[in-house]
Amino acid sequence: MKLQGQVSWNLNFLFVLDSDKQGKIERDRYHEEFGIPLERLLTLNELVSGVTVIEDLLDNEARLVLKKTLKLTTSPSKGQIRRFFQEQLASDQTQPLSAVFAEKAKTLIDALRLRLDPAS
């Protein structure tokens, strides 16, 4: 069943998915099952070269900051990375992670802005 008119409530939105096999499967499923236009369903590698999964935004220095902040004994998992960012945003506290992360994040945000508002 296609719900294209009901999916976005006329909002300008993008879905960003991992570029791995599962992300591409989900992209196709969202398009088929929910009628989301393919131009609204992006994979990370379309936005940031060399980034396949969200964890690829983090270099070793950034991972170390997360590990210390979350008091982990091992490298953070995808869920722990998500929790870190959710907590940072919820508490309105952000801390620099690394120059590499900052550059990749800027590239991602700039690419999203361009896709959402090509006139900017």
37 and 78 within one domain = no
Q: What is the rounded distance in angstroms from the CA atom of residue 68 to the CA atom of residue 18? A: 26
For residue 65, what are the domain limits? 60-97
Is residue 80 within 8 A of residue 94, CB to CB? The reply is no
97 has pLDDT over 60:
yes
User: For residue 4, what pLDDT is reported?
Assistant: 44
**Number of domains, the chain:** 2
Higher pLDDT, 24 or 95: 24
**Is residue 14 a contact partner of residue 116, using CB atoms and an 8 Å limit?**
yes
Q: Is the pLDDT of residue 58 over 80?
A: yes
Digit-coded pLDDT (tens) for 2-30: 444 445 566 778 999 999 999 999 999 99
Question: What's the rounded Cα separation, in Å, for the pair 118 and 11?
Answer: 15
* Predicted pLDDT at 120: 59
Do 32 and 67 sit in the same domain of this protein? no
> How many beta carbons lie within 10 A of that of residue 115, not counting itself?
16
Residue % of the chain over a pLDDT of 90: 60
